[in-house]
A = this chain, B = another copy of it.
Amino acid sequence: MTTTPLDNWEADQLKESLSERVKGGFGAFWVSGSRPVEPPPVIPIALTGGIPDADALPIDQLVEVSNRVLRESGPEALRYGGHQGSLALREWLAEHTSGREGLELTANNFTLTNGISGGLVNVAETFLNEGDIGLAESPTFPGGVGAFQNCLCEVGGVPMDEHGILPDELEAAIKRYEDDGKRVKVLYTVPNFQNPTGYSMALDRRHAVVDICHRHKVLIAEDDAYGDIRFEGERLPSLFALARGNGVVYLGSFSKTMATGLRVGWTLAAEPVIDALLQTRFDLGGSPWMHKVIHEFASAGLLEKHLETVNEIYHRKRDAMLSALDERCSRYATWNRPEGGYFLWLTLAETVDSKALAEAARRHGVAYVGGYAFHRDGGGHNAVRLAYSFVKEDEIPEAITRLGRALEEAADGATG
């Protein structure tokens, strides 16, 4: 059969037809990230991806559980499951979360989402009007900011340190916007092992943040993607628990505990808020097949066992990375020692030129994400995110050796 090429849209028509969202370019960083780039000279060891250890993925168990789901309840697994998602999985979440946080929760306090990212889109559409203000830690996960900006909102950054967002800075930012006659609607925060820094919010700050947001009627969108990846210390209560749900939407996920490719997360909120969240959903919900697989996996105790396994792995990987950094990089950077999560945050010494570092790292074959990717204001060039979750444990020393060489050259270049 002969085929004919597509006609081009008239460029003017296309441009004129696009929404203000596209014209704002808020999602451009995702699109450009998916484009092919020139391959590097050395196959790099990647410290980039915030994704689970590939060798520890519970593939055998998923095969078994998935087969059972399809064999025993195929027709239900393969039809629409509704916007709120699997009742059984929401009931499991209610029981599990009630016990952990000391709250009375039911399945009606949950909706299932396309990962936390899908949940953030849903929260944004449910609460944000054009011109509203969102706030987020600086640095932060850019997808959260993008979801807010996509509702034609401005997102302001609030400084943080190793103990989380700075409450005084938060309140000052809210007041600045209020003085300008603007409405701060939502604070986006990742209080446990934050992406990108790995920093966690201290208990006194959690209380202060809840108090400030409550007084200023700012909704908190609490992203807890990493809270279950804890291999040291004790879990702190969520902001949701401290506020007893008042003014907080908590977002959780099976992405970092099981697999990012399942695309299943959840929101937890008071029932009237859940009802509101459902009113801006038009995607006909996630896959009941995936929901049922996760429910079978979790309710059989496999998730808990899997977490024990992977948390040991992440513990060893973090330690391997810390000791390699001590040995190779201490002249050129400082970093934190997170009790969990996937990430370390390197703050570069003033002697290190970040562009020279990027170039040298590419040459030596180690990949990381530059801190600027997590700032929307042009900052963050003096920092680097290192993920220890995905890299093979036995490649960590070599990766950090390469990084050390790159740092040395970047520092020499800057000072020489």
Contacts and interface: CB of A to CB of B under 8 A. Distances in A.
B7 A117 contact: no
Contacts of A30: 83, 278-279, 281-282
A126 B282 contact: no
Given A261-B288, A262-B287, A280 B19 contact: yes
A219 interface: yes
Contact of A78 (B84, B147, B262, B272): B262
Contact of A6 (B105, B185, B261, B285): B105
A125 to B, nearest CB: 6
A110 to B, nearest CB: 12
A9 B57 contact: no
B21 A125 contact: yes
Interface size range on A against B: 35 or more
B99 A1 contact: yes
A217 B18 CA distance: 12
Contacts of A103: 3-6
Contact of A57 (B67, B75, B273, B286): B75
Nearest to A144: B282
A311 interface: no
A44 interface: no
A1 B95 CA distance: 12
Contacts of A346: none
Given A279-B28, A283-B118, A288-B261, A22 B59 contact: no
A278 B31 contact: yes
A14 to B, nearest CB: 6
A74 interface: yes
A352 to B, nearest CB: 30
Q: Which 4 A-B residue pairings sit nearest by Cβ, starting from the closest?
A: A6-B245, A78-B259, A27-B279, A78-B261
